[in-house]
Homo-oligomer: A and B are copies of this chain.
Amino acid sequence: MTKKSNIAITIEALAQAVKANFEGDGSISISGAAPITKAQPGEITFIANEKYIKFLENTKASAIVLDKDTPCPKHITAIRHDNPYLTFARIIDILYTEEPQIPIGVDSASIVEKGAEISPSSHIGPLCHIKNNAQIGDNSKLISSVYIGNNVTIGNNCLIYPGVIILDDTKIGDNVIIHSSTVIGSDGFGYAESDKGLKKIKQIGWVEIDNDVEIGSNCSVDRGALGPTKIGRGTKIDNLVQIAHNVEIGNNCIIVSQVGISGSTKLGNGVILAGQVGVVGHLEIGDGARVGAKSGVSKSVLPDKTVFGSPARDIMKAKRIEASLVHLPKLLKRVRIIEKKIKD
């Protein structure tokens, strides 16, 4: 089962819209997008990964987005582009427009404290609570049950899903998307030892989220202890991610689900942390560095380096260790045999 698009459009028109060429019958009307194995006549699909070329012959799709080189069966119309995945993403945007239309204005079942400034072009759904001196920019949408603390600023064209909590003093740029139940600006985890147990260090900092950031559901982004916790422009964060106080994340990073970044660690630009990675505090992860899934990063990582494992090491080293581990049980026996032989 696939999802019908909101509009039907010819392949020719689609190709033109995404600035790509096509081969085959451009007059066919497209009314849906689907994976190659599930697509039906009238639908478009794509190949961005060689593994899927084997399904090309038998797909029922009417059109397919391909790179410039992959041969295409005659019965399918090919839309050709150097970056087929990006092109397919653009086609989806055309086929599946937002629905239903969301009305502008503040729902009467929301609470807006005095001093809050809300752009008249924004949409504030029901059961939201917007506190004193908060600012919400043009065309931004708070779907439902969103909490916006004192002095929070949210830019233009933001999309805040139900159940998001944005606490005092958070600054959010334009085109930011935050998914449900994520908490921005909870207190950092800081205590000093005292005779009477652990004394809380009041967390007086805040969170800054730059333009074009997307943050998944059930994430925790803590406010800085004294200054900001920062998430740089264009960075994308998956679900259930922990960002501790004073962390600074650069631009265009990819932080996959269930990652935890400890306090005061800095990530450069274009860093990729795969799922369930943990990074200890006060480290520097250089521009373009990559960390493999489930790794535990205990030392700073140089730019463009790929590390893996727990503790994380250079990925080539880590893979060699991993490969040799299989031989360890027998190695113990072999050394025992050698020791015996030598003794004799």
Which of A's residues lie within 8 Å of B, judged by CB? 1-3, 33-35, 38, 83, 85-86, 88-90, 92-93, 96, 100, 109, 111, 125-127, 129, 132, 144-145, 147, 150, 161-163, 165, 167, 177, 179-183, 186-187, 189, 191-194, 197-202, 204-206, 212, 214, 216-220, 222, 226-228, 233-234, 236, 238-240, 242, 244, 251-252, 254, 256-258, 260, 262, 275-276, 278, 280, 293-294, 296, 298, 310-311, 313, 317, 320-329, 331-332, 334-335, 338-339, 341-342
Residues of B within 8 A of A257 (CB): 189, 220, 242, 244, 260, 262
A147 touches B163 (CB 8 A): yes
Given A183-B180, A324-B328, A329-B324, A254:B162 Cβ within 8 A: no
Of B177, B200, B218, B313, the residue contacting A220 (CB under 8 A) is B218
Instruction: Kindly state the separation between the CA atoms of A187 and B143 in the bound complex, as whole angstroms.
Output: 15
Smallest beta-carbon distance A176→chain B, Å: 12
A167/B163 in contact, CB under 8 A: no
A245 to chain B, nearest CB (A): 10
Contacting pair A332 B331 (CB below 8 A): yes
List of 3 A-B pairs having minimum Cβ-Cβ separation, nearest first: A220-B239, A86-B192, A186-B217
User: A197 and B321 in contact (CB under 8 A), knowing A189-B236, A216-B189, A227-B3?
Assistant: no
Decide if B111 touches A126 in the complex (CB within 8 Å).
yes
Please state if B162 and A162 are interface contacts (CB–CB under 8 Å).
no
Apart from the given pairs A85-B192, A177-B187, 18 other A-B contacts in the complex at a CB distance below 8 Å: A83-B192, A86-B193, A92-B202, A147-B163, A147-B180, A163-B163, A163-B183, A179-B187, A181-B181, A183-B217, A183-B239, A189-B257, A191-B254, A276-B276, A276-B278, A293-B296, A313-B326, A328-B328
Give the distance to chain B from A328, nearest Cβ to Cβ, in Å. 5
Q: Kindly identify which residue among B191, B226, B234, B275 contacts A198, using a CB–CB cutoff of 8 Å.
A: B234
Q: Which residues of B contact A1 (CB under 8 A)?
A: 227-228
Sample (10) of A-B pairs whose CB atoms are under 8 Å apart: A1-B227, A1-B228, A34-B227, A89-B201, A127-B127, A181-B182, A183-B239, A189-B236, A220-B239, A294-B310
Given contacts A86-B194, A294-B278, contact A183 B321 (CB under 8 A): no
CB-defined contacts of A179 to chain B, threshold 8 Å: 183, 186-187
Point out the residues of chain B lying under 8 angstroms from A276, CB to CB: 260, 276, 278, 296
Contact of A129 among B2, B125, B186 (CB under 8 A): B125
Contact of A193 (CB < 8 Å), options: B83, B177, B187, B256: B83
- Contact across chains for A189 and B293 when beta carbons are under 8 A apart: no
Q: Please measure, in the bound complex, the distance between the C-alpha atom of A12 and the C-alpha atom of B38, giving whole angstroms.
A: 57
CB–CB B335/A329 < 8 A? no
Q: Is the pair B275, A293 in contact by a Cβ cutoff of 8 Å?
A: no
Report whether A335 and B331 are in contact in the complex, using a CB–CB cutoff of 8 Å.
Answer: yes
